[in-house]
Chain A
Amino acid sequence: MAESKYKIIIGLEIHVHLATKTKMFCGCELVYGGEPNTRVCPVCIGMPGVLPTMNKKAVEFATLAGLALNCEIPSFTKWDRKSYYYPDLPKNYQISQYDLPLCGSGFIEIPLEEGQTKNIRMIRAHLEEDAGKNTHTFGDFSAIDLNRAGSPLLEMVTEPDMNSGKEVRALAVELQRIVRFLGISEGDMQKGHMRFEPNVNLHIPKDGKIYKTPISEVKNLNSFKALERSVTYEARRQYAEFVEFGKTMEMGNKATFGWDDDNQCTVLQREKEEAHDYRYFPDPDLVPVEMSDEWLGEIKSRLCELPLQMQMRFVQDYKLSDYDAGVLTADRQTAEYFDATVKSGVDPKRVCNILTQTGLKLANEAGCKVAELGVSSDGLAELAKMVDASEISASASVTIFEEMTKSKGAPKATAEKLNLIQKSDAGEIESLIDQVIADNPKAVAEATSGSKKAKKSAGFLMGQVMQRSKGQANPKVVSEILNKKLSL
């Protein structure tokens, strides 16, 4: 395998759209897919003489993200102008942060296979404004929609601590989970809420020396799949280039690529001769942000248990599989709903099964979260308890849950309505068993013979009893009485 011949080194730049109601520096509403140029004002359209004003919520969201990523939060940050010459940001500069970002260094813990985790160091995170949209489908000119211009964007940069496409994907997915848990972004990939730019190169050991390939930056990836594949593709391409031409970092430091999804390959956009000269300078229109201990403490109080911690707790305390725990912590509402249900003292696996076998599917179909299906965590707990007490079977609990989402009834009433209460009345079950024994002398003889067929015949008799009870007999009670009758 070629993979063992080199080590892939990947750092990631991530842009996340914050879920504020309005833009970063003006009161225009943030709406996805609105009619072009209907959410614009003199500020975000870049008219001369206007004054941008910071959206407090955006600063707090960015700080919250920084706290979740274990970043240092400096007490003083400021805004800078970054030169930008495209019409989708008509001021000719982007308001961003250069030397004093809102969030300093930190780290994000990402899940790897089999419950393992890895810490990826974060270099920084800062706030900036997004550009508008450029449409090229109109022939020889471009058409600009500025609805998105000025949207608050959180840009995060990691150290090159990832070593495979899988790790990069894991980080992206984990980050999506975190921003959703914190409620600071919808993290909707389809709506472009998250964009990724990996920096990839290889360290190749050869003749007792480590050769480094030039760094490729792949721009503007907006799906997890494209992110993972572009990294894997780049690694292979760079290795081939090294083998064929001996190309190393000394021969060209960095190049920018795009991802061609149709052909599943990267495409060279430009080879950078030198770093872009963005000519940053402090924005005189915006005053600095000072983060007091009091304000920071208030933001800190809005932190919640993070998804990976919750997932690991579900595995450790509730003995769920890593997979199930991952599914249940995909979003905060579902995770907290599950957690609240279990905390009222029911078997976690029982609750997990009801949710994974039917709840999540129903929620998906209804386009909502499982907690919004109309079954309270108390109702779910009661249902799970009925299974534990053998009042209903495990499979019946799934049917009852489904009915509860429709009729909003209590579990017991719903079970009764559906005739799914298991009969545990020994007398009634005994008479059923007596009938089955009388009607099946051959099976009875075999079951008590101690022969190879005994087990199978006992099972057959058990099935007959369950059938005659229309599945309502408590199998545990049936099995006990049947065994006694057959003196097994």
Chain B
Amino acid sequence: MGQKIDREQVEKVAKLARLDLSDGELTEFTGQLSSILEYIEKLNEIDTDSVEPLAHCLPVHNVFREDVVIPSLDVAAALKNAPASFDNHFKVPKVLDGGPGA
């Protein structure tokens, strides 16, 4: 049976997820991911012609919050878990790209 995912694809996904995988890991995960995908493919055996596509797994919608201010953390608490801080900012390695902006 052919592999469901090849080494190149695993390399690409790892890069997108910012994971640095060794050669050995690449080989290992290519095999593992292939068998996972194969297992998932069992779902294709089910006839879903008359089933509406599901956008969300919970049968709940419109859970809202009113636009009311809730007190924020104080700075010390906000920065408490940060590995490093500077002048009430989170201190991180220099961002080279400038960030794409949201």
Contact = CB atoms under 8 A, between A and B. Distances in A.
Contact of B102 (A37, A45, A57, A89): A89
B100 interface: yes
A141 interface: yes
A129 interface: yes
Contacts of B100: 84, 86, 219
B67 A35 contact: no
Contacts of B64: 53-56, 59
Contacts of A89: 102
B93 A287 contact: no
B77 to A, nearest CB: 9
Interface string B58-102: 101111111111101111001101000011111111110111111
Interface string A81-109: 00111111110001000001000000000
Interface in A137-173: 138, 140-146, 153
Contacts of A195: 101
Given A142-B93, A288-B56, A21 B68 contact: yes
Given A22-B70, A89-B102, A287-B62, A141 B55 contact: no
Contacts of B90: 37, 87, 90, 143-146
A288 B101 contact: no
Nearest to B75: A37
Contacts of B70: 22, 26-28, 41
Nearest to B88: A36
Contacts of A124: none
Nearest to B89: A143
B51 interface: no
B42 interface: no
A457 interface: no
A22 B102 contact: no
Nearest to A56: B64
Interface in A30-57: 35-42, 45, 47, 53-57
B57 interface: yes
Contacts of A20: 67
A420 to B, nearest CB: 49
Contacts of B75: 35-38
Contact of A134 (B78, B86, B98): B98
B66 A56 contact: yes
Interface residues of A, number: 65
B92 A85 contact: no
Nearest to B93: A141
A78 interface: yes
Contacts of A287: 56, 58, 60-63
B88 to A, nearest CB: 5
Contacts of A15: 102
Contacts of A146: 78, 90
B16 interface: yes
A128 interface: yes
Given A57-B67, A290-B61, A28 B101 contact: no
Contacts of A129: 102
Given A54-B65, A130-B102, A220-B101, A40 B95 contact: no
Interface string A278-289: 010010101111
A309 interface: no
Contacts of A29: 69, 72
A441 B83 CA distance: 97
- List the 5 closest A-B pairs by CB distance, nearest first: A27-B70, A143-B89, A57-B67, A56-B64, A144-B90
17 contacts: A15-B102, A21-B68, A22-B67, A26-B70, A37-B88, A38-B72, A45-B78, A55-B64, A57-B66, A78-B55, A84-B102, A85-B18, A140-B94, A143-B90, A143-B92, A144-B90, A282-B56
Interface of A: 15, 20-22, 26-29, 35-42, 45, 47, 53-59, 76, 78, 83-90, 94, 100, 128-131, 134-136, 138, 140-146, 153, 195, 219-220, 277, 279, 282, 284, 286-290
Interface of B: 16, 18, 55-58, 60-70, 72-75, 78-79, 81, 86-95, 97-102
Given A27-B70, A37-B88, A41-B73, 11 more contacts: A27-B65, A27-B69, A38-B74, A54-B63, A78-B56, A86-B95, A86-B97, A90-B90, A129-B102, A134-B95, A153-B102
